[in-house]
Amino acid sequence: MRKKNQRKSKFWILLLTVAVIIFAYNTNLALNAQSLFSKIGAKAESIPLLTVASDSAVSVPLGNLYSSNAILVRLDNHSVLMQKDSKETVYPASLTKIMTAIVAIEKLPDLQKKVALPNSMFQKLFKADASMAGFKPDEKVRAIDLLYGVMLPSGAECCLGLADHIAGSEQKFVEIMNQKAVVLGMSNTHFTNSTGLQDDNHYTTVKDLSILLSYALQNTTFRNIFTAARYSIAPTNKHPNGITFQNTMFKNITNPVVNGGKILGGKTGYTVEAGLCLASLAQKNGREYILVTTGAKGNHESEQYNLDDAYTVYSKLGK
């Protein structure tokens, strides 16, 4: 009887030992798998593919993009076709002016009305080395001409002139910008100025910027400005022959055609902290797409890597 009990005990001990070994093996396997996925996640920039719509059947390694953040959206149904750290907080630089322009358009009942550009605001902008459209202190300019000055040459004096005219101060105008961001669902965006000058509390994401641009392009006036390569303003008290603006994006593009499609318009941006940025619109195969990128290396004097990324992405659409 005792031997029989001993055999039973040995059997249960052996069974328990086998169970422990199997559990340990599976646990180790799971940990190894978890470790592997962690390593893959840590190197996500070089591994994921830029996947374009199923009707395009094209993929491009995200590691080929110079920009640290990117999002590609099909405009008719707002489907996201590609994204790279699209929800990461970034500095928008002059892409801020997309919001400045659409808010001004919606707030101004008469775009032919003239707006005065006071001398006081110029000193602040000169000191900050802000990009300027070329207007002079005390110049009186039509609102529509200031809007083209905001978007094409990225004129900071145009932003402040419109902000003061509409809200009484840039600070109050920025409050309207932030309110608009909330209404549009730009949940990770906060503006502190109308120009995009560097400020740690002035931030957004490329996803939020794609929401903004998708909305703004529904406005005919904004779309006309956004897609203009050149524009000449009416004569003013300081410029009797007017001024001709050139879009900063088109200025650096020799040919807007991309594999049967075409880049229709865009807005560039740059600060040291933000890198080279671009929000653009393109058409291929009868469809429109927007691409927003930030954080590309380089500067105004270097190769425009933000434009290189636009060509890379748009060229693959529909292939």
CA contacts within 13 A on the Cβ side of 278: 34
In terms of Cα–Cα distance, which of 125, 69, 102, 82 is closest to 296? Answer: 69
The active-site residue out of 94, 131, 210, 280 is 94
Length of the chain (residues)? 319
Task: Return d(Cα 224, Cα 228) in angstroms, integer.
Answer: 6
Which helix (H) or strand (E) is 221 found in, with range? helix 220-226
Catalytic residue among 154, 194, 210, 315: 154
Distance CA 164, CA 162 (A): 6
Q: Give kind and range of the element (H or E) at residue 289.
A: strand 287-296
Task: Provide the pLDDT for residue 30.
Answer: 37
Q: Residues of 294-319 as b/e, b for ≥16 C-beta within 10 angstroms?
A: bbbeeeeeeebbbbbbbbbbbbbbbe
Clarify whether 315 is annotated catalytic.
no
Instruction: Give the strand pairing for 244-246 and 230-232.
Output: antiparallel
46 catalytic, yes or no?
Answer: no
Contact 290, 280 (CB under 8 A): yes
Name residues of the chain where pLDDT drops below 50.
1-6, 8, 18, 20-58
CB 131 within 8 A of CB 271: no
Which of 97, 267, 284, 316 is an active site residue?
A: 97
67 is a catalytic site residue: no
212-225 per-position pLDDT tens digit: 999 999 999 999 99
Strand 257-258 versus strand 244-246 pairing type: unpaired
Give the domain 49-316 fold: Beta-lactamase (3.40.710)
**What confidence tens digit (pLDDT) does each residue in 283-301 have?**
998 999 999 999 999 998 8
